[in-house]
Amino acid sequence: MSPSRASKAPELTGPVEDYLKAIYELERTGQAAETNAIAKALSIAPASVSGMVRRLAEQGLISHERYRGARLTAAGRRAALKTLRRHRVIEAYLTTALGYSWDRVHDEAERLEHAASDELIDRMAAAIGEPETDPHGAPIPTREGTLRERSLVTLASLEPGNAARVERVSDRNAERLRYLAELGIVPGIVVQVVAREPFGGPIALRVADLPRTIGPELASQILVAPTPAPRN
């Protein structure tokens, strides 16, 4: 066996990549990657998680402490970012080059991300101008496996009078994405909080000079960057 073949990292299966991606997202949001959290992220039974977590630890992709959850090792983080790059480039390519709406690309990318080669992904990215984010505002890891996660806040955290630029929304709920598109709440748009009803009531917004109202639960899923309030 040649040295190059001996040193080549083994191919990861689709399920392994899904686990690493889920653990990365849990770490990113500050949650402990415990069994129940991983199971919820992957929509599987908690009983199915323990065995895979042990295998990932044996492969050196995660470290795991009982009652404290899993954490990605350097190798696990590289693998997770590689999968995220494939997923997000595919989403960007489908919307930019093929005209898919942003609510349809997540499921397609989930199916394609494990099969696409690095060369194909790099060609897709080049064909659409090397985008820095996917259609939902999530940053795309570089070819070298680096990723700069911006410090953002939720729309729900803003007080009346505050304004912010919408930067990112989750791509996992197609119905929610269609609703946000109808409201005009998409990455790049500036919104201003007009009023908040007490006790978890609705939040009144101004979006491109149009009045809009959303609930606090939905507002908590929208990541924004505060900006000076527009002048009247």
Residues carrying CATH 1.10.10.10, the chain: 3-72
Region 153-227: CATH code: 2.30.30.90
Q: Classify domain 3-72 by CATH architecture.
A: Orthogonal Bundle (1.10)
d(CA 53, CA 60): 11
Residue given tokens 């889920």 in the structure block:
22
How far is the CA of 99 from the CAs of 16, 66, 168, 181, 182, in angstroms? 31, 46, 20, 15, 18
User: Angle 14-28/49-58 helices, nearest 10 degrees?
Assistant: 90
Beta bridge pairs of residue 227 = 163
pLDDT at 9: 52
d(CA 73, CA 23): 11
Q: Which two tokens stand for residue 30?
A: 């500050």
Residues carrying CATH 2.30.30.90, the chain: 153-227
Judge contact between 126 and 90, C-beta under 8 A: no
For the chain, 232 residues long, give each residue's pLDDT as a single digit of tens: 444 444 445 689 999 999 999 999 999 888 889 999 999 999 999 988 989 999 999 999 999 887 778 999 999 999 999 999 999 999 999 999 999 999 999 999 999 999 999 999 999 999 999 999 999 999 999 998 899 888 899 999 999 999 999 999 988 899 999 999 999 999 999 999 999 999 889 999 999 889 999 999 999 999 999 988 766 5
Element at 224 (helix H, strand E): strand 222-227
pLDDT at 232: 59
Q: Strand, helix or coil at 221?
A: coil
